[in-house]
Amino acid sequence: MKYKRILLKLSGEALMGDRQYGIDPKRLSEYADEIKQIHDLGIEIAIVIGGGNIFRGVAGASNGMDRVQGDYMGMLATIINGMALQGALEEKGMLTRLQTALKIEAIAEPYIKRRAVRHLEKGRIVIFGAGTGNPYFTTDTAAVLRGIEVDADVILKGTRVDGVYNVDPEKNPDAVKFDYISFDDVIKKGLNVMDTTAFTLSQENKLPIIVFDMNKEGNLLKICKGENIGTIVNI
């Protein structure tokens, strides 16, 4: 395997499947199958999930809600998604731990770096909920931060597109996909890989990002084997 320890970033919207909101059990089960394939090969897996399928703080703020309050609601949404994924993974025989940046002892461990690393070393899948625990920071930033803290080899950003393009491929059929692009070129071209805080943090710590289509069966396994899937963003 090319990577020993990965940080998988999933968007909340990805869990909706074909629904308008909420969680699609079929999509959740498919993701659990994909994750099990690489888990069975001994890869250590940490996961961060967004909460956009349930609530997004920015959207709440645009409707007159206090941004800080909205962001905390979004953090709780990520915990709900984390619990759903935890259930799907354990149903397929994997050991998991849900750690949250906000203390909710009844359902999850508080995030402690050393404990998270120990879980990973023992082969447990660790799901990080509640983002960074601070408003104004996205789950992209949380994913990169946790990836750096647990010494992940790579950030795997699972999306509904198969990589980074020069323009939006869903709007422009002539969009050109990059197989490999540097951090500097992403900035120069004004491409949207992650939010600026997350991207800068990843660049400063030389942590590569791979953007790929999580909905295509086998992609996650192929990446971990070193195949050229999606777009690699690196120094």
Binding-site residue ranges for UMP: 51, 71, 132-139
List phi, psi (to 5°) of 100: -125, 150
Are 78 and 49 in contact, with CB atoms under 8 Å apart?
yes
**3-state SS, one letter per residue, for 204-231:** HCCCCEEEEECCCCCHHHHHHCCCCCCE
Structure tokens at 19: 């629904």
SS3 143: helix
The annotated binding site is made up of: 9-12, 51-52, 56, 71, 132-139, 159, 165, 168
Measure Cα distances from 174 to 126, 153, 216 in Å.
39, 33, 21
Give the residue numbers of the binding site for ATP.
Answer: 9-12, 52, 56, 159, 165, 168
Please name which of 84, 152, 146, 148 lies closest in space to residue 121, comparing C-alpha atoms.
Answer: 152
Length, in residues, of the chain: 235
* Cα–Cα distance, 16 to 124 (Å, whole number): 25
Helix (H) or strand (E) holding 1: none
Q: At what angle do helices 139-149 and 196-204 cross, to 10 degrees?
A: 20
